[in-house]
Amino acid sequence: MMSKIDVREAARKIRNLTIKIAEKSGTGHIASGLSMADILACLYFSEMRFGDGNAEADHFVLSKGHGAISLYATLSLKGFIDFDVVTEYHRLGSTMTSFPSEPFYRGLDFASGSLGHGASVSCGLALAAKLDSSNKRVYCIVSDGECQEGAIWEAALFAGHHQLDNLTVVVDYNKLQALGKVGDIVTLEPFADKWRSFGWDTIPVDGHDVAALTNAFEKTSNKPKCIIADTIKGKGVSFMEGDLNWHYLPLKGEYLGKALLETSL
C-alpha cells in the first residue's frame, strides 16, 4: 500500500495523464474526469485490492462512465493498460471507448455510461459477494446530476435494507451537470440526510483532500457507506474549475498548453 503522500502524487499524475490523453484524442468530458482524480487515486493506490496474493479482487463500477478518460489514466498509471493503448481513447475501433465497455482490462470489469445504473449493479455485486461468503468489496462512483435519477434511490433503498456493508458509493458532488447547476435544475439537498434516512453510513468529505478521503474509506460499520465527496468540476486546471463550458469542450491551442503545464507542476 502506498502512503497518503504517494496517493496525492498519484492524483496529480492522473490529472496530467488525463490531459495528455485529451491532447491525443481531441475530445471532451475532461472536467468530469479531473473532478474525481483524487477519489480514483485513493481507490486504486490505497483502498482497493486487485487479487494479488490470497486477496480477492474488489469490484469497481464507474457509474459516471462519461469520466472514463481519468479512469483510463488511472489504469495506465497503475500499469494495467499501456499508455499507448489508453491514448487511443475515443478513436474509432479502439478498445478505449468513450464510456467503459468490453473488452475489459484488469481493474475495469464493468460497462457503464448510461447514467443511473451503476449503483444498482453495485448492489447486485455486493449482495452476490455476501451470498458467496466472499470478502470482496464493491466501490462505485456516481455523479451528482446522476443522483436526480430514480434508479439511484432504488439502489439506496435496496442496499440499506440488505445492510450491504461491503458496498461503498462515492458521490462526486461537483454541483454542476451538463447544462447547468445541479441546485438550479433539481436540487439534491438535504443530500446527506437523504442517504442517512435510507440506512447508509454517510460521510461528507472534501473530495480533494486525500487524507480525509482515505479516512472515510477506512471507516467501518454494519451499513452500506456513502461518501459525499465535495468536489470542483475540472479541479487542477484553473480555467476549467467550476466552468460549465468544460463539460463538453475539447482542449486546444493555448488552453491545452496551460492545462499540460498546470497538471505537471
Ligand X SMILES: Cc1ncc(C[n+]2csc(CCOP(=O)(O)OP(=O)(O)O)c2C)c(N)n1
Query: Applying CB under 6 A, which residues contact ligand X?
Result: 32, 35, 64, 66, 113-116, 143-146, 172, 174, 176-178, 233
Encoded one letter per residue, x for contact with Mg ion by CB under 5 A and - for no contact, window 87-126 reads ----------------------------------------
Q: What is the identity of the amino acid at 16?
A: N
Encoded one letter per residue, x for contact with Mg ion by CB under 5 A and - for no contact, window 174-193 reads x-xx----------------
Give the nearer residue to ligand X in terms of CB position, either 136 or 233.
233
Q: List 143's β-bridge partners, or say none.
A: 172
Cell of 43: 481507490
Other residues' Cβ atoms within 10 Å of the Cβ of residue 55: 12
Q: Is 262 helix (H, G, I), strand (E, B) or coil?
A: helix
Spatial contact of 63 and 142, defined as CB atoms under 8 Å apart = yes
Encoded one letter per residue, x for contact with Mg ion by CB under 5 A and - for no contact, window 134-153 reads ---------xxx--------
178 binds, among ligand X, Mg ion, none (CB under 5 to 8 A by kind): ligand X
**Residue (of 60, 61, 82, 63) closest to 72 by Cα position:** 82
Cell of 190: 438535504
To the nearest whole angstrom, how small is the minimum distance from the Cβ of residue 164 to ligand X? 23
**Residue (of 204, 264, 193) closest to 231 by Cα position:** 204
Give the nearer residue to Mg ion in terms of CB position, either 29 or 137.
29
What gap in Å lies between CA 102 and CA 82, rounded to an integer?
Answer: 17
How wide is the angle at C-alpha 41 spanned by C-alphas 179 and 154, nearest 5°? 55
To the nearest whole angstrom, how small is the minimum distance from the Cβ of residue 42 to ligand X? 17
To the nearest whole angstrom, how small is the minimum distance from the Cβ of residue 129 to ligand X? 26
Give the nearer residue to ligand X in terms of CB position, either 35 or 122.
35
Grid look-up 475495469 returns 108
To the nearest whole angstrom, how small is the minimum distance from the Cβ of residue 30 to ligand X? 10
To the nearest whole angstrom, how small is the minimum distance from the Cβ of residue 1 to ligand X? 27
Spatial contact of 4 and 211, defined as CB atoms under 8 Å apart = yes
Give the nearer residue to ligand X in terms of CB position, either 128 or 185.
185
Grid look-up 464493468 returns 110
Give the nearer residue to ligand X in terms of CB position, either 127 or 232.
232
Question: Does 202 help bind Mg ion (rule: CB under 5 A)?
Answer: no
Give the nearer residue to Mg ion in terms of CB position, either 159 or 188.
188
What gap in Å lies between CA 53 and CA 131, rounded to an integer?
Answer: 23
Binding site for Mg ion (CB under 5 A): 143-145, 174, 176-177
